[in-house]
Structure 1
């Protein structure tokens, strides 16, 4: 239905960990006949280790450099890209993603993050020493809003609702 209009453009999903970027992203790709990339999986594959291992051994700053390098290496079109929550710290990475992509911010309230995010210590969430989940939320939300072409409030949504809202936003953007 939308594929013809999306042949060259990517759909880039940004937001906090647990917003549903990866889950919704793969379903959107299937529904629209597009490719799918999860940048967290891309990083793990390139590095040969889990995100949490990279963070534990290399530290936050090195991880962010690895993440930006992985994003800058991507050359794709007709792809749904689910990003890691920390991607917005990389200005060059975000500019690269925006060049050929519609950036959709899946916004969730802090309370929703707490409800959904259960495995903070092993999930590969970029937290500097002494930083709390609330700290990164306050730090990232303005960056998500800065880079977003579309912002969807998904705080009270099920995955199905977020999927439907995202597909509707894509439909409106591409006029179909």
Structure 2
């Protein structure tokens, strides 16, 4: 596991950023959030970038920024849409272990109150349910470890990752 990244994937609201920060502290690795990298590069918020560039423009930007990265020994929280790019996922898996935070749709729906302003790469008429159904098989495809996060608190999830890899 030395020098390997821990790459967190999952739906918006699954806890990637929140847990990622605490996991990084626990295992003494730097933390990176790819959504923040995108915002910094564009000097704007995700929702504004999506409005300005459209979904496909945003996904293309996300892919190019991820392909530019060369992190070693980091915890990386990705945007929920990263799995749409096979090139991005291949790049992230090259130096990383991919951990999928799996939560049922009902919990995701309860957690995401600001779906229209959160900066989620989804069509204007797309439901959270259809987004979930589209992405779930992709998360499962790329995952090296799937953590069922339902009925687990943050400490349980971190402990599960630490036991598995450290």
Are 2:56 and 1:68 aligned?
no
- Is the aligned partner of 1:37 residue 2:16? no
Structure 2 counterparts to residues 142-161 of structure 1, below 5 A: 142-161=137-156
- 1:169: how far off? 2.6
Deviates more, 1:80-89 or 1:112-121: 112-121
Q: Distance in 1 between matches of 2:123 and 2:151?
A: 28
* Alignment partner of 1:101 is 2:105: no
Deviates more, 1:94-103 or 1:156-165: 156-165
Q: SS of 1:11's equivalent?
A: strand
Query: TM-score scaled to structure 1, two decimals?
Result: 0.91
CA distance, structure 2, for counterparts of residue 138 and residue 27 of structure 1: 29
Within a 5 Å distance, the mapping from 1:76-91 to structure 2 comes to 76-91=71-86
Superposition deviation, residue 122 in structure 1: 1.3
The correspondence for 1:17, drawn from 1, 12, 28, is 12
Matched positions, count: 166
- Quote the Cα distance in structure 1 between the aligned partners of 2:162 and 2:102: 15
Q: What is the Cα-based RMSD across aligned positions, in Å?
A: 1.0
Q: Distance in 2 between matches of 1:92 and 1:159?
A: 30
| Displacement of 1:115 | 1.4
Q: Say yes or no: does 1:128 pair with 2:117.
A: no
> What is the deviation of 1:87?
0.3
SS at match of 1:59: helix
Could you state the TM-score of these two structures normalised by the residue count of structure 2?
0.96
Whole-angstrom distance in 2 between the partners of 1:158 and 1:146: 25
| Structure 1 residues 11-69: Cα deviation after superposition (integer angstroms, max 9, x where no partner) | 00000011110111111111111111100000000110000000111110000001001
